Structure formats: structure tokens, C-alpha cells
Structure 1
Amino acid sequence: MNDERTYWLETMQRIADPVLRSLANDTLHADLPSETTPLKPSALLEAFGRVVCGLGPWLGAPVLPAAEDSIREEYIRLYYEGLRHGMDPLSPDYMPILGDTQPLVDMAFLADGILRAGDVLTDDLEGDDLDNFLYALELTARIKPYESNWVLFSVLVEILRAKLGDPNASQEKIDRYLKEMMAWYKGDGIYGDGRDVHVDYYNSYVIHPLLVDAVTYYQDDYTRSIRDVVYQRAARYAATLERIISPEGTFPVLGRSITYRFGAFHALALAAWRHDLPEGVAPSQVRAALTAVIQKTTTATDMFDANGWLNIGFYGNQPAMGEGYINHGSVYLCTTVFLPLGLPVSDPFWADPAKDWTAKAVYGNTPVPRNEPVNY
């Protein structure tokens, strides 16, 4: 196994391990740090849903090195234990759905991770565990999304309900909200977040990844009709993301939710995992660029607290950078950078020699392709 993949795996484990083990032990509510007392009710689902969202492709990978496979099997066990506790109203780690809108967001991230894993995160769901989860999804589906990227959260919840055989899953809701999101497209790979454009990373945190996964994991006439253009736009945005990574692995500190750290590259990581990178962007240059980003971000000595939990911040412990909706569970969306771990070691992403990414090549006086806008 190459050194870069080993580094990615070890970094992913360092981030995800406290969440999955604590929830499996029914102690996440007691263990998860909080900036306020009491702990925000949605924080547990935020941490769990976002970790599973990032780990899904690796958990469902058909082929892994033997050294990874044993870790993966342990994490699948931890997932099922954690889901049992999180959906059980009698558990200390119960993740309440009613009384807040935030659970819609993080049930959708959880759903997306489950879908990305194929069947390995649903095959062993049965009995009370399945019933409790279906009921939680039903309660979540009652939450009305804001007129923004939130409409995609409702879509992913309905898609997972359909996958789990819930007869009340709504195709009408899926199609209606997807049509809303498609109508907010502004051009050159950028969607509005609602009717307005914001200079931030929400096209990567949420919009492109959830749109791509919606048309991938749900089949009806409407999703089939928009699939190609969704993929084309996502590839265009992935190219933009690759170009903002500096030669040193830094990237601009822009907009809301910047404490998601390298979760800003969710859409680029998804394109790499799905083999949907645009022409002229090699998998090995994306690997090199993302490795540089991960390495730069994790050089902060206070990225983690003394117990191994992520601190709130962009580089280290910077709680003032977190908006009012940010808590210690929220920041685990950074795990989405690790989606390419779902690719086999033999895939060009891992196997090809490292190639300079765009900014590094330019500053090394190497010509690169022009960055031409697109109209689809």
C-alpha cells in the first residue's frame, strides 16, 4: 500500500474513530465536547451523519488491502452499534428529530453515506433497529426545508426511505425539489443557494455532491433526464476546485462554514472517486493536491483537543470562526475529503506517479490548459 494512501487512512481514522467508538459505546452524548451547556441536541447526529457521509465509499469498497479490510469490518460493526443507539429513544445517545430543523441536514448526510456504501450499511438492518430508523426518517421527512441547498437534504432522505422499502417515500417530493435546485443554476458550474449566489463553498459542501448522488441512486424519468447535465456541471466545478489549491496546499478562507476545513473539497473528492474528473485533470494530480491540503491543514498542533476530538476552526482551534449553528459535531464534514479511499489501490488515483496540480505547475513555470468557461 503506498505511503500517501496509508497517510490518508491514518488521518481519516484519527478523525472518525472517536465519533464511531464513542457512539458504539453509547457515550457520545457524554464525550462530545461542547462550546455551550447543555450539548446542542442535534450535535450527535451531526457528528455521526457527517462521518458516515465521508466514509461511505471506503466502507462499501469491493476490494481493499488486507490491512484495511480488518479496520473496515470493525468500522462497519461500530456503525451498526452506533445507529442502534442513535435511533433508540431509550438510549443516552438518542438523536431526537422533532423540535429542530437541523436533523434534516444531518439525516441527509447520513443517508448519503449509506447510499454511497452500497448495501453494506443496510443489509444487517432488521427488527427494532430497522423500525426505529425508518421512524426517524419519517419524522425527518416532516421537516420543511428552507429555499436553499436544504431542498437537497429532503431529496436524500426520501431516496433512502425508498431504498429501505418505505411505501410512503415520495417521488413527487424528490422531483419537485430537484427541479427547484436545477432552476437555481447560474452557469459555469455554479448553482445559486436558493435564488442568490454566495461566495462560499456550499456548491462543494452540499449542492454538487447531493445532486450527483440523487441522480445516481434514484431512478425515475426526471432524474434520468437531468443526469448528464448534473454530471457535466459537477465536473466543471471540480476543475474549479482543483485550481484554487495553492502550491503549498492552502486555499482561500471564504464564506460560511469555513470550519468544515478540507470538507471544502467534497465535490472534487467525489468526482475523483466516481471517475468523473474533467478532461485535463488527472487523478494523480488531484491526489497530490488533496494530500497537500490535508497535510497543510493537519500541521496545526491544536486541530484536535487532548481527547482526540476535532476543535472548531479552519486551521487549529479557532472557535470564533464558527457561526452560531456550528458545534463540535458539525466540523466532521471534513471527512468528505476521504471519498477516494473507496478506490482500489490499483486505481490510477493511487497508482499513478504524483503529478503537479494546476497552481503548483504554473508556479513551476509549466504551461497548463486555459480555464475556459462552459455554458451547460
Structure 2
Amino acid sequence: MVYDPAKANPLHGNPLLSRDDVERAVLDLFNPLLPYFSESGARVRLGAAGAIFDHAAADLEGFARPLWGIVPFAAGGGNFPHWDIYRRGLANGTNPDHPDYWGDVADRNQRLVELAAIGLAVAMVPEHIWDPLDNKAKSGIGAYLLRARERDYVDNNWKFFRVLVDLGLERVGIAFDHSKTEAYLDEIEAFDIGGGWYRDGPVRRADHYIPFAMHFYGLIYTVLAKGDDARKARLRQRAQEFTADIRHWFGADGAALAYGRSQTYRFAAGGFWGALALADLDALPWGEIKGYYLRHLRWWSRWPIADRDGVLSVGYGYPNLLMSESYNSPGSPYWAMKVFLPLALGADHPFWQAEEIEAPIFDEPIALEKPGMVAMHTSGNTVILASGQEHDKMRGSHEKYSKFAYSTRYAFNIEANDRHFDAAGFDNMLGLSDDGVHFRMRETLEEAMIVADRLYSRWKPWPDVTVETWLIPANPWHIRVHRLVTPRSLMTTEGGFAISRADFGRDRQEEGPGRATWLGQTDVSTILDLSETPRDGRAHAAIANTNLLHARAILPQLRATLSAGETVLITAVLALPLGGDADKALAAPPSRPDLASLERLFRDEGRRIAVFDLT
């Protein structure tokens, strides 16, 4: 049996080469939702799984999130045939006397998130969603939006949601207190850390919420808001600067870096390129921007990202609740529709007129100083070495933020069982256990620094154990140096990149002292010990459904038991598509770096990573 890609992905078979193709994609993604709208139009319930918020808010999420694609589609002249459902649903969902009422708004409530899409719709296409309504419906909707904007929003990208609601209210002539809008815009700008980067609130992290939220909403504001020219200029300038860095989060094949939370939003990651187009900001040549945009959509068209009825699943490369967040309801994935923002532009815009240009080739490692990363562009892959970010308040946070390396081709694994040390994958992580059952990894940090294209972090898996880690690019390899100081014996496992596992044992494994390798059907992944005392190599099969892209994955590991005291571990890691580049790389592994030189370098020139330096 084959999981039919035509049923598992509404984008399958769409060449995604032209504006017409992208318009078709909007309707192909929306149409599977039609059977799940309630009779009132207000609720869209796509599954039985729950989220941290109530079902009414989840049903609103299912209703509202498709609007991120529908609205620009219609604004650009597309014929969306179901506005009657949305008008009816909007009137009923905001009516406290209707059985499908969405519920009262409250501080830091999910409804505040979803109403942003409605604000955008009213701001961009009032002729479709507002003007045909009667005065009673308009009064009820307006009152609901006004109540929402008076609430307290989470201190991060959520602050833009009030701004988007206000853009809608302003468009249809509903008065409100503009000082609250300005206050939130000022607070958002305070998250700026330079170089076009923001923090997503008062936190030590900068993930995909920077491109697909902070910049995305900011660029919408520059287009739709009246006045405020100085702020608009700042927002545009930051986006211009940011583009030079964020392009390194995309592979040559269009894949975005799987890094951080909310990966189930999938092609929302390409929304930044569309926002540049909407804002008429040619931060790169239009052909390059268009290439990043369309390649990303085409990459997603290849994966089984939907259920059999064509509804997008919670998951990444396939349906997978293990990697989800507590705030992911069955409607959450439809934030992917944010990618369709440039459909608001006419076909004559330079973005749509430009010929696609392939991404530039970067032979040398690229330091991304503000988020504490180093990018390496390799054959068929972009690897990001990472140090200096953290998020310790969510499931899988260590895997999503604290691995040593992330990849556009291989994504990452989420550990499935925190009481089975031997079965854990530890891809691009160093796992530690003092009892052979429970384990720790790099989580929160004491220090994070960068010098040129090298990274350093200091972390404590236990209060009495200290680990220092240096990360060094050696393209296409990378090197990790760990110095551990422990008062007791520790078992250790360090992993390389996870690749797809074939059926019937067709993959070939090599393991022995100081080395482990998996030769899969399309890729090779290897890990090499450069320590003075080599660890044991193991070709490991990961627990099913732990990798974001492949339901069955394999990866190489190095294992050892360390004695109490100080130990230095040095590791070289490589993963590449099979072929000549891989053969050459495997035949020429990097040499062991000098730890004393690394220490001097960071002592003399080390700079604290900006996103980590939260004061």
C-alpha cells in the first residue's frame, strides 16, 4: 500500500511556478475544510484532539486561519466563492445569543490571536466580509473586536494582534483609543536587538516567529496603516537588514530550517518572502525573493502533510502529535496560509514578473551573530550550528532550541521517552545519565558567546556538573568540543544527524571504536570521535515518529561511560546526500582542534550572543 500523495497533500501535482499556480493552491487547501463548517458558519472543528484552550476557541481558529490566504487571494482579484459562509459565521460567532458564539474575550486568550485574521480581512477586503452585512451584524462584530482590543495580550508577537484588529476597525470607521495601538507598537520595537533581529518578547530566543510574525506583521503595518512614517521606515529598514541573514535558514531546494517551536505551521516560514513583496521591499533582487518563495512552496508539495481528506495535519513532514505544542489544535496548521500574502499584488508587480533566480552559493561558513548561529551551505543541505538560545517551558524545548546543529534536509528528532536512556536518539545532542534510565541534555545556559564563525556555551545538566561546548564549522563537517567536569560517573551518548530508514533492512551500518555510520538509500550520516580515548560507535535506530520529516529514522552515535573528574570529548559530524561529495568528505575527516587555542580565542575576543544577553 502507498500513502497516496494526491490525497495526503492538496498541493501535490501543482507545479507552483506562477501566480496562477499559487492562486490554485489557496483553493486546493481551503476546499477540504468545507464539510467541517458548522451550519452557522462560525465553527470549524477538524478533529477530536484538544489544545490548552477551550473547544470554542479552537473552532474559531479553524474558522479564522484560512483567512490568511483567502484575504490576499481576494484582494488581488481572486474569486473566492464562499464569502457567504464567512459573513454568516462572523455575525453568528460574535453574537452572545447564538449557540455557536465564540465565547467572551479575556486577557491573554487564544481568541485574541485569531481575531487578527479577521482584522486583516476587514482592513483589506471589506467589500467581501463587511460591507454586505446588515447594521445589526456590524454592530455586534464591531463591539466584539472593541472588547478584544482592550484586553491584555501576551508580551511577544501577540502585541501585533491588537494592531491588526485596529487596522480593520479604522478601515470601516469604528473609533477606538489609538494610544493603546501606539503603546504596543513601541513595546514591539523594544524587542529589537539589531541587525534586523528581534527577540520574541523578553526571552532568550529568536526563532521563526521573527520572520513569520514580527517582520510579517510589521510589513503589513507599513502597507495598511495611515501615517506613522518614521516607524514604517524603521520597520522596513530592519526587514532589509534581516533578509541578509534569514536567507541562510533556507536550503537550495526550498526547505526551511526546522528550528524552534510551532513547526506545524509549515510553509508559514515562507511568509516573510511574501511580506517583502507586499511591502514592495526589494531587499534582494526580485528574482531571488521569488525563488526563495516558490521553492519553499514546491518543497512542501512533496510531503504527506494532510490527512486522507486533504485537511492539514498537526505535524511536520507527516501527521505527528509528538512534536506539537500544547497550543496546537487541529486548526492550528492553517497558519501556513500566511505564505499567500503576495497574492494581494497584481500580476504586473515585479515580484510576479521576475524570473526565478537560484539561491546564491555560499562556500564559506556564515556567522549569524545576533541569534548565535553559524550557517554552512553543503550539498543539498544547509546546516546551522546553534548556541545561545533556550526555552525551558514547553515539551521538547531542548530539542527545538538547544541542539548543537539543525538542518534543512534532516530536521530534528523529539525524544519520546525520558526514562529510557539506551533508546534515546540524541541527534546533534550530548545525552547524559547518572543512573542509566533518566537523562539530561543541553537545556538552559549559563553563558553563550561567538567569535567569527565559532560558538561557545556553558551549561549545567545538574547543579554539580558543568559542560563547556565549542562548535567549529569544517564544511561539510562540523566539530564539537565538550569539556565535562563531574563529581560522579556519567554515561554519555552523542548523536549525529538522523536520516530516513528504509524497509527490509536495506540500509547499511558501520560501527566500531570511535566511529559509526549509516548508509541509507539516499543519504549518509556519520559521527567520528576525535577524542584521545575513542568512544564506542553505534548505528542506532530511533524510536518511530520522533523525527520531524521521517516516521522511521536512523542515526549514528558515540557512547562512553565517563569517570568522575574532567573529561574532554571531541566529535566530528557529517551528513550528506549519497554521491561524490559525500565520498570525498568521508575520505577527508577534519583534524582535532587545539582546546587551549579555543580557550584563548574566546577569552580574548568572545562576544556574548545578543539574543542570550537578556538584561
Distance 1:94 1:238, change over 3 A: farther
* Offset, 1:22: 4.3
The aligned counterpart of 2:274 is: 269
Q: How far apart are the structure 1 equivalents of 2:19 and 2:71?
A: 17
The aligned counterpart of 2:288 is: 285
Q: Secondary structure at the match of 1:332?
A: helix
The aligned counterpart of 1:40 is: 55
- Can you list the C-alpha shifts for 1:346-366, whole angstroms capped at 9, x where unaligned? 3332333221123599879xx
* Offset, 1:197: 4.2
The aligned counterpart of 1:155 is: 163
The aligned counterpart of 1:230 is: 235
Q: How far apart are the structure 1 equivalents of 2:308 and 2:143?
A: 37
Q: Secondary structure at the match of 2:161?
A: helix
Task: List aligned pairs for 1:1-376, cutoff 5 A.
Answer: 4-19=18-33, 22-23=36-37, 25-26=39-40, 29=43, 31-36=45-50, 40-61=55-76, 64=77, 69=78, 71-72=79-80, 74-98=81-105, 101-117=109-125, 119-167=127-175, 169-220=176-227, 223-278=228-283, 281-301=284-304, 303-358=305-360
Question: Structure 2: which 5+ residue stretches go unaligned?
Answer: 1-14, 364-376, 380-615
Q: How far apart are the structure 1 equivalents of 2:335 and 2:252?
A: 24
Distance 1:262 1:250, change over 3 A: same
Distance 1:159 1:185, change over 3 A: same
- Report the RMSD for the aligned CA atoms in angstroms: 2.9
Q: How far apart are the structure 1 equivalents of 2:320 and 2:117?
A: 24
The aligned counterpart of 1:368 is: none
The letter for the 2-side match of 1:182 is E
The letter for the 1-side match of 2:131 is D
Greater relative contact order, per chain length (Cα 8 Å cut-off, separation 6+): 1
Q: Secondary structure at the match of 1:341?
A: helix
Q: How far apart are the structure 2 equivalents of 1:344 and 1:230?
A: 24
The letter for the 2-side match of 1:36 is G
The aligned counterpart of 1:371 is: none
- Can you list the C-alpha shifts for 1:130-171, whole angstroms capped at 9, x where unaligned? 11211211221232112222222222223322333333x111
CA contact (8 A) 2:119 2:166 kept: no
Q: How far apart are the structure 2 equivalents of 1:136 and 1:207?
A: 25
* Offset, 1:31: 4.4
Q: Secondary structure at the match of 2:289?
A: helix
CA contact (8 A) 2:42 2:86 kept: no
* Offset, 1:2: 8.9
* Offset, 1:228: 0.7
Structure with the bigger percentage of helix: 1
CA contact (8 A) 1:200 1:254 kept: yes
The letter for the 2-side match of 1:205 is F
Question: Structure 1: which 5+ residue stretches go unaligned?
Answer: 365-376
Q: Secondary structure at the match of 1:268?
A: helix
Count of paired positions: 350
The letter for the 1-side match of 2:19 is R
The letter for the 2-side match of 1:41 is A
The letter for the 2-side match of 1:338 is F
Q: How far apart are the structure 2 equivalents of 1:76 and 1:285?
A: 34
Structure with the bigger percentage of strand: 2
Q: Secondary structure at the match of 1:186?
A: strand
Q: How far apart are the structure 2 equivalents of 1:52 and 1:358?
A: 33
CA contact (8 A) 1:42 1:95 kept: yes
- Can you list the C-alpha shifts for 1:43-62, whole angstroms capped at 9, x where unaligned? 1222332221233222112x
Between Structure 1 and Structure 2, whose CA radius of gyration is higher?
2
Q: Secondary structure at the match of 2:193?
A: strand
Identity %: 23
Q: How far apart are the structure 2 equivalents of 1:317 and 1:92?
A: 32
The letter for the 1-side match of 2:104 is I
Q: How far apart are the structure 2 equivalents of 1:76 and 1:175?
A: 32
TM-score (norm. length: structure 2): 0.52
TM-score (norm. length: structure 1): 0.83
The aligned counterpart of 1:369 is: none
- After TM superposition, the structure 1 stretch with the greater mean CA deviation from structure 2, 284-293 or 266-275, is 284-293
* Offset, 1:217: 2.8
* Offset, 1:27: 6.0
Q: How far apart are the structure 2 equivalents of 1:26 and 1:359?
A: 52
CA contact (8 A) 1:86 1:94 kept: yes
Q: How far apart are the structure 2 equivalents of 1:352 and 1:2?
A: 15
The letter for the 2-side match of 1:253 is A
CA contact (8 A) 1:85 1:91 kept: yes
The letter for the 1-side match of 2:59 is L
Distance 1:255 1:359, change over 3 A: farther
Distance 1:121 1:283, change over 3 A: farther
